[in-house]
Chains A and B, each alone.
Chain A
Amino acid sequence: MVTLADLNTPHKNTWCPGCGNFGILSAVKSVFVELGLEREQVVLVSGIGCHGKISDYVNVNTFHGIHGRVLPVATGIKLANPDLTVIGFSGDADCYDEGWDHFCHAVRRNVDATLIVHNNMILGLTTGQTTATSQAGFRSKSTPFGSVVPPLNPIAHALISNGTFVARGFAGDPKHLTGLIVEAVKHRGFNYIDVFQPCVTFNYLNTYEWFRSRVYKLEEAGHDVTDRQKALEKSFEWGDRIPIGIFYKEDKPTYRDNLPHLKGVPLTKMPIQDIDISGVVESMK
């Protein structure tokens, strides 16, 4: 079983002091310990942006890919070897802008993997531009007069794309977040968690305080996680009160469950020497 110390890497952390990413990092490490996972068994996939550096900071298998493509890489890994625990880490620009192409498809495909989106509502690594989740009116280097476009609602999108595990966490509450990630990794299906992750350097608006004064926990408000309609209503709650926690959860066959011929065997274990193609050849005569 892995310990917290095993998960450390010697690499210097370059996130800004106080960055919301630290809350996510500590939550993730404690999840690996709590679930008793082995380092060899986990693959962490990350994209490009501040979030992407997490692959240098957790000593499990990692694939640090290109901007926006966390989901297809994670999909390929999990389909190839279902014995792996695959967790994708993406940012709001990485997932909801550059990689938006893949989001709804990954949700509806229901491959058994987890996606954690570090949502700071700004592009940090490129020194402060708007993203798909920046608030309307938000001023940044790319919108000096304020963004004129309303933000995208990723939770609602996941719900209407037949998501089987849809949740939202807050990096300022790592304990709660740990619980959410544990639930997600344990759940069989595509498990999606959007995480409010304050950017202390560039996002003047959505600060720890801004989030802390607004978020409330769905589980404490008696929310029924099996009711998709109710979950959808909750996903539109924004303003003085913003819900975090599990919006919706459902057990459904995963993509691989629907491929009965594989009988759960990893593709990596299928023999590839001396494959007999005579049947196909015969049909071409």
Chain B
Amino acid sequence: MKVDDFSFLIGGEAGAGISRSGFLFAKAGMRGGLHVFGTNDYQSLIRGGHNFYVVRMSEKEVYCQADNINLLIALNAETVTLHKNELVPKGGIICDSDDMALTSDMLGRPDLKLYPLPLRKIVVDELKEPHSLIMRNTVALGAAIAITDYDLGLLEEAMRDTFKAETAESNIKAAHVGYDFVKQKFDGNFDYQLKKTEATGKNRIFLSGNEAVGLGAVKAGCKFYVGYPMTPTTGILHFMTSNERDFNMIAMQPEGEIAAINMVAGAAFAGVRAMTATSGGGFCLMSEGLGMAGMTETPIVVMVGQRPGPSTGLPTYSAQGDLRFVVHASQGEFPRVVVAPGDVEECFYETMRAFNWAEKYQLPVIILTDKYVLESEVSVEPFDGNRVKVERGSIVSERYEGGGEYRRYEVTETGVSPRAVPLTKGAIVHANSDEHTEDGHTSEDPIVTLTMMDKRMRKLDTINKEFEERNVETTKFYGSEDAQATVVSWGSTKGPIREAMKLLAAEGTVVNYLQILYLHPFPKARVEQVLSRAKKTIVVENNKTSQLSGLIRERLLRKVDHKILKYDGRSLNPGDLATRIKEVL
């Protein structure tokens, strides 16, 4: 039976190469024309513990993982115990027969098909690679290809593109051994088989949210990236440092997050598009620098990847608990933009836009993401880099030719002052974190204080006006106007919501969905328009206190009808979400 929606899970100890194996299987799927979504689950340790990677493949577009698994590669016994009940009826388990003697009766699942392979023995005796036990995965991947009757050539190709030549060849050999073992020792009647489709998938790219943000930054002309490693944003640091030379950038790791945001502010003041990224803890340290960027009107971009808090929390898991924090972070009042991409494509385009907003309005822009969107990998059509043009706003080029002395904080109707950078002829630039006069000098005068606060805050009105005039997609709407309820969310809950909508539609339940992409300034009119027509409103969030509901209440004086909240560090699964939506309908 060829299936159209196939999920594969590989699990084992940390350090066993789980993510890499999942990645290879996913790429083989994508190159066979399938849509692919991959997500990982790992703990904050280097060796041991339990890690897994799930890949879902389909001929149709997939937005997140499925609720169930068709085939499980268990590199240790714990993987079987933890995931056996997620297996579909007649699902399969590939395991190391040297480690565990499994029977389906033992598991209480007589329907399952077991594929015990002597993985360790194969690696040591047959492949003669006793020091590379990580190759057990590859043998198992070959076995998985055989069991699903898929194309081993596609896996080989993925390995050749991923590994150095020598490593690729030894892995390909290992995959072949696994493949042949299954073909010889087991009958071919596994219920779920994968099928290649027409070659359209070959043009797709497979990447994580971190890589999409990084790629968006590079395309937007970011030339200065500084970031201190912190899960889940370390991936963008790796992306930027590895591309530093090809794109004439400086990408560096500083002594901490405080240094990072201040370096970025310095570079942006000097006239370069500059960015940093961190998670909640690092963003706490950056908060003072964020306010400095607000006060000095320095255009910086900060990506915040959320994980569960408070404090260290669950360092390698996902959450949406920092919405209120980033909207309000730092002392005093100053304008900022907060945008929350919900998928990999939005990670790319919104990062490109973020640099435009930062420079046009001369303020900090926060890209609010989370572990789930940053570290999940998905196949998408290659991005259209021309969709967002580089717009730098009011920059004084080579020479200042305005009347009199240049004033960095000239009071204007829009709140945005002409921006000169150091080395502009005829302009001396004074940036100041103290309250200041138009020319940037310190002042504690009450009139100056009022004037400058009003000037800065006026930029929010200017932004709202431009967003409206240009019809910027600050929110997105999915589904039909006529629905039993409207789901409202922000950020990475988007994938599970769209999948849940499919499941509900199949049963005849119709809900539509409002995604709020820009959280600050809050797109009041657009949100009000949708909510005022909704029969019932359901907010879905990965936090405890439903921070979006609070924001809606504050901005629109509107109470939402229901809240579906999940705050255990794990993303929502579509089936669970569909059930919870039905409960409140």
Contact = CB atoms under 8 A, between A and B. Distances in A.
Interface string B208-231: 000100010011110110100000
A219 B458 CA distance: 57
Contacts of A284: 205-207, 211
Interface stretch (B39-47, B105-113, B420-428, B472-480): B420-428
Nearest to A44: B430
Interface string B406-433: 0000000000000001111111111111
B274 A62 contact: no
A61 B267 contact: no
B440 interface: yes
Contacts of A272: 220-221, 223, 273, 390
B205 A73 contact: no
B430 A280 contact: no
Nearest to B214: A280
A268 B392 CA distance: 13
B566 interface: no
Nearest to A39: B428
A74 B423 contact: no
B265 A73 contact: yes
Chain B CB count within 10 A is highest, among A72, A84, A261, for A72
Contacts, number: 186
Chain B CB count within 10 A is highest, among A45, A66, A79, A80, for A80
Interface stretch (B246-254, B502-510, B518-526, B533-541): B246-254
Given A55-B432, A76-B274, A261-B244, A268 B250 contact: no
A265 B272 CA distance: 13
Contacts of B393: none
B221 A72 contact: no
Contacts of A187: none
B441 A11 contact: yes
Given A273-B390, A284-B206, A284-B211, A81 B422 contact: yes
B428 A69 contact: no
A83 B423 contact: yes
A1 interface: no
Interface size grouping (class) on chain A:
35 or more
B424 A63 contact: no
Contacts of B296: 63, 65
B372 interface: no
A76 B204 contact: no
Interface in B245-273: 245-250, 254-256, 258-260, 262-273
Contact of B266 (A74, A105, A261): A74
Given A77-B270, A80-B266, A279-B246, A43 B258 contact: no
B272 A267 contact: yes
B428 A40 contact: yes
Given A76-B274, A80-B224, A267-B223, A64 B433 contact: yes
A180 interface: no
A61 B226 CA distance: 24
Contacts of A64: 430-434, 442
A59 to B, nearest CB: 6
Contact of B224 (A9, A11, A55, A79): A79
Contacts of B426: 40
Nearest to B383: A281
Given A65-B262, A285-B204, A72 B250 contact: no
A40 B259 contact: no
Given A40-B424, A64-B442, A281-B205, A79 B430 contact: no
B385 A277 contact: yes
A76 B263 CA distance: 4
A77 B266 contact: yes
A209 B292 CA distance: 39
B301 to A, nearest CB: 13
B462 interface: no
B243 interface: yes
Interface in A226-285: 259, 261-262, 265, 267-268, 270-273, 275, 277, 279-281, 283-285
Contacts of A262: 248, 250
Nearest to A275: B219
Contacts of A87: none
Interface of B: 31, 161, 202-207, 211, 215, 218-221, 223-224, 226, 243-250, 254-256, 258-260, 262-274, 288-289, 292, 296, 382-383, 385, 390, 421-434, 440-442
20 contacts: A41-B423, A43-B422, A45-B266, A63-B431, A72-B259, A72-B262, A75-B259, A76-B263, A76-B266, A76-B268, A76-B274, A79-B267, A80-B223, A80-B267, A83-B423, A84-B422, A105-B255, A272-B390, A277-B218, A280-B215
Given A76-B226, A80-B250, A102-B258, 11 more contacts: A40-B426, A41-B422, A66-B292, A72-B260, A76-B268, A79-B250, A79-B267, A81-B272, A272-B221, A277-B218, A281-B383
